[in-house]
Amino acid sequence: MTAKITALALGRLADPNQRAKALVFTLLLALVAVYSAIVPPLQSPDECSHLKRAYLLTRGVIMLDVHPTHGSGGMIDQGLAAFIAAHLYLPHNEGNTVTRAMQRSANDIAWTKKTVFEPAPGAGYYFPLIYAPHAIGLGLGELFGLSLYHSYLLTRFTLSATCLALIFLALGIYRPNFLVLTLLLLPMSVFQLATVNIDGLTTALTLVAVGLFLRVADRRLEFRPWMSHAMAVAVFILVTCRPHLLPLLALPFVCALLRRSKRDLLLGLLVTVASLGWIGLSMSITMDLRQSRDLGVSQLLLFYLTHPRVFFSLLWNTLQNDDLLLFYRESFIGVLGWLDAKLADHYYAATSYFLIFTALISLSINNIRQDYPARLLLLFMALASLALIFFALLIAWTPHPSKVITGVQGRYFITPAIIFAYALSGSANVFSLKRPALASPAIAAWFIASAYHLAHTLVLRYYATQG
């Protein structure tokens, strides 16, 4: 029996696709474990709001309350509020680092069973199902009487484990290409997997949704009923927490067309109605006072929909700004922490070239005749998603009026980039085209450099004293 299991395992590892899947999963697991130990709590943008929203979900709160002077939020445990406040001295100030006294003080904070209102407007737009892994970690921590620090670590663990499990599932659903694997190993991707931000989860769910769609498009592969439901759930969660992924709503309908499936058609209608309903409801009731503007989100949405030329003019001005373009590139690859921990300049340049290299070796015209409808659809979705990123930040964050669109960060481009990456190869197996011999050494060298630069940057940012 043991011999059969060993033979089966060795046989699977002989497949280049399985080796790539196992390697990427192992590398991600190791990196997330290491960087979770390095990164202090709450050092990712909006992580505080996400943690508050997760706590509210443990109390069954679906819609946030609205406070006239603080905006949207809810009643959270005073201990959790104190734990968050204890770490707010680190962001936006590179001179502030972790000290033993701060660690001891923060680690001793306990649950109080008393509540206080805390704003969390950035999380008010998201359907709370995205916070289920967070809520499990926080709820278990409170249930077993753990300190806030250990409850936070448990939350990190449950979220990271969920993300890695979904990534492992996605890589098994449909083969990735070299660019997809590189995007997963970017410093920004790995950093977000080691925090309680929702970016890691949206990246994993994007892999699942797109992988299931390509499985439908590839007639050689089996597509089981549970996959339709899994894709519908993934699309719903993605669209209701990342509105720029609205184009993904087309996936169930295309699946219905390709497979002549009434089930997928009904799921598509259900997901579309539910997603648009939630987005409309959340925009109408969420009060975000972080930006002082005369018009609300719903009013700005109506304004730009009726004046599309204004939007495209602002988009053009934004894309003509060299400083913003540089920031997009760097924050896509990795400007860590609260955008206050940059990597070395030469690393950004080298990684930019490496991304182009992996895109080129991922490109394939094999099976193009049967693949082109699905690949063109993915390409359109990626480009539409990029445009919607700017539109979403225009109505939700940018002052009105403005000369450029503000609030856009490069990390928002990772999910559209993954969609684009899958469009490059379609159903072609790039691992069987004699390209691994060229790619493997380059990926290994880049990965080693990335791991070093990421660890070096984080240690200097959070633990090196000025002097």
What's residue 156's pLDDT? 95
Would you place residue 295 in the very low, low, confident or very high pLDDT band (cuts 50, 70, 90)?
Answer: confident
For 206-224, what is the mean pLDDT?
A: 89
Among residues 55, 202, 49, 67, the alpha carbon closest in space to that of 124 is found at 49
Could you give the angle at which helices 148-173 and 16-38 cross, rounded to 10 degrees?
170
Token pair recorded at residue 152: 């936070």
Q: Does residue 236 have a pLDDT over 70? A: yes
What's residue 9's pLDDT? 40
Q: Does residue 278 have a pLDDT over 80? A: yes
Q: Is the peptide bond before 401 cis (omega within 30 degrees of 0)?
A: yes
Helix ranges, 219-294 (H)? 225-241, 250-259, 262-285
Q: Does residue 433 have a pLDDT over 70? A: no
What's residue 36's pLDDT? 87
Q: What percent of the chain has pLDDT over 90?
A: 65
Residue partners of 137: CB distance under 8 A and separation at least 6: 54, 151, 154, 155, 156, 157, 158, 159
Question: Rounded mean pLDDT of the chain?
Answer: 89
Token pair recorded at residue 300: 């700005």
- Quick: pLDDT tens for 39-92: 999 999 999 999 999 999 999 999 999 988 888 999 999 999 999 999 988 988
Q: Rounded to 5 degrees, what angle do the CA atoms 47, 23, 9 make?
A: 130
For 160-165, what is the mean pLDDT?
A: 94
What's residue 366's pLDDT? 75
- Quick: pLDDT tens for 87-144: 988 988 878 899 888 888 888 999 999 999 999 988 989 999 999 999 999 999 999 9
Q: Does residue 220 have a pLDDT over 50? A: yes
Residue partners of 136: CB distance under 8 A and separation at least 6: 158
What's residue 269's pLDDT? 98
Q: Enumerate helices (H) and strands (E) in the chain, giving the number of each.
A: 20, 5
Report the SS3 class of residue 465. coil
